[in-house]
Amino acid sequence: MGSYYLYRGYMRDLGQLGESTFSMWCAQVGLVANPSMIDKTGWDFYLQFPISNNLSPQQLHKSAFECKVQVKATDKKDRKLAITISNLRQMATSPMPTFYCFLEFDGQSQVQKAFLLHLNHEIIYSILKRVHEIEQSDKDNNLNKRTMTLHYDEKMEIEKLNGHSLKADLLKYIGDDYSKYIREKSKFLENCGFEEGYGKIQFSVNGEAGIRNIIDVSLGLEEELDVENLPSIEERFGIPSKKSEFKLSNAKLRIGMSTPKKGKVRFKEDHLSSGLMFDIEFYTPPFNFHDFRKYAKFRIVGDFFDIACEPYVGKAHYTFSLGDDQKLKLGKLKDAVSLICLLSRDKQIAIFELDLEGFELLSFTLTSKYIKRELTIFNELLEKASQICEYANVSEEIKVSLKDLYYFRKEIEQFYTLITKSDLLDIKLEIDVEHKFEISKVAHISVVICHLGTHIIGMIFTVIGDFNEILKKNRFSVKNAKIVVERVFSFFPKNLEIIKEAISKEIHNRIQKYDGEYDVFYNWELH
């Protein structure tokens, strides 16, 4: 401490008064106050708290609370004190809790007010930032000769001038979990000042190809590129370091993509067409091109397409992906197939309009090149699937893939024929067993299902007509036939067993309906 004052004819050692007072308070509550033997450590007392005798088995391994305290005795009331940077650094970087205890004597022999300043994350940040500023300075960077002022106020005042209040305030800042405090402080010390990154790297690329490559990497079109001549500048708190811990002659560069803008794109054959609209993510490179506009590029990504445009040179590269069983909403899949067909024509001029959040509408044109694609069958299947959904009154959004459509195309065709051309059918029926017809009228109850991606649509229907003739074993024809739709339903594939039971009940009901008046047959295994 080293402060001496003449008090009523005697030399008063203010520093010793402060340390004695603090030691007495610690002794009152069983805190072990180990004094620093060398006045260069930044702290005066190393405090050890007593270990509780009531620890549970889960807490048995936990250590006693420990902390370091620097005691500052003063007769002033300006609530601030200049402390050497070297001292502050010692306190700030200690892994355990650290405190400054300010004791105001106001010229008296007994302390009048006391304050406890906890070196929290905010103060530690300020200290380490100041240390780094000084160390990277070209002049007067001796930490022992530089100071930083700490301020304290009434919020930090120790309520009662005794050990109980001191201990309570220490524990208030440390908390209940000492290990957690140590972990969080250690993590903070390691990372503070690096919030904006660990430094800057300069690099060079070769020629136009290099510029185009780095743009492609920034847009996610390429994974990485080769760079060379990499002088690096480490930074902490935004302050460049004189020393760098790494130097590289060449490296692979990867660039994280910036957050895309959300928006929509509409593709049109001409200005008067309604077009095809899709949700998109819009990516731009994080570079300012200025005089290098010809290298400018942006990227549009949708559910099934990826378009890279170079507006100043009039180029665009686009790819489509509807494979790997990718499912889209039925209406959106129709639009997707229509778009692929549109952009696969030879010399097709297409307009696409970009509607991005916070931007005016942007419009571009592109001319497609002929690409042979066999999509006619999917156009037809999608139209039929749409009509099936409309007929079945399926309001929820069905998701389907091209793979689904192709694999279950026969089911789709069959279901579509039943709902659109039933009056034109030449109906012949087949049963599993030989049967003697005793009633001229027949009723054949059937079930047909159609898989459409995430859903299955089904129909229970009855063929009613007059027995005509036996064509061959177990096969006969009817005349004056008509189809009566009994039930139309939809369900998720995972509910199949429940649906089977429900279908069986419906068929039982229909058998009872027609039995007596008709010779009844059915094509379902009843439960």
- What are the domain boundaries of the chain? 4-191, 199-253, 262-373, 412-522
**What pLDDT is attached to residue 7?**
47
The list of the chain residues with pLDDT below 50 reads 1-2, 4-9, 60
Report, in this order, helix, strand and coil percent for the chain, each rounded to 5. Answer: 30, 35, 35
**What pLDDT is attached to residue 1?**
45
CATH topology of domain 4-191: Trna Endonuclease; Chain: A, domain 1 (3.40.1350)
**What pLDDT is attached to residue 244?**
61
**pLDDT by residue (tens digit) across 34-85?**
998 766 667 889 999 987 666 555 554 566 899 999 999 999 888 998 989 8
Structure tokens at 177: 């979990």
344: DSSP letter:
T
222 within 8 A of 216, measured Cβ to Cβ: yes
212 within 8 A of 293, measured Cβ to Cβ: no
Find the Cα–Cα–Cα–Cα dihedral 430, 433, 437, 443, rounded to 10°: -50
**How far apart (Å, rounded) are the C-alpha atoms in residues 391 and 405?**
18
458 within 8 A of 448, measured Cβ to Cβ: yes
Residues in the chain: 527
**What pLDDT is attached to residue 67?**
93
**pLDDT by residue (tens digit) across 319-363?**
888 877 888 998 899 999 988 888 888 888 888 899 998 888 888
SS3 label, residue 175: coil
- What are the CA-CA distances from residue 13 to residues 19, 36, 72, 523 (Å)? 10, 18, 12, 108
**What pLDDT is attached to residue 200?**
64
**How far apart (Å, rounded) are the C-alpha atoms in residues 439 and 446?**
19
**What pLDDT is attached to residue 157?**
95
**What pLDDT is attached to residue 474?**
67
Q: Give the contacts of 138 (CB within 8 A, at least 6 positions apart).
A: none
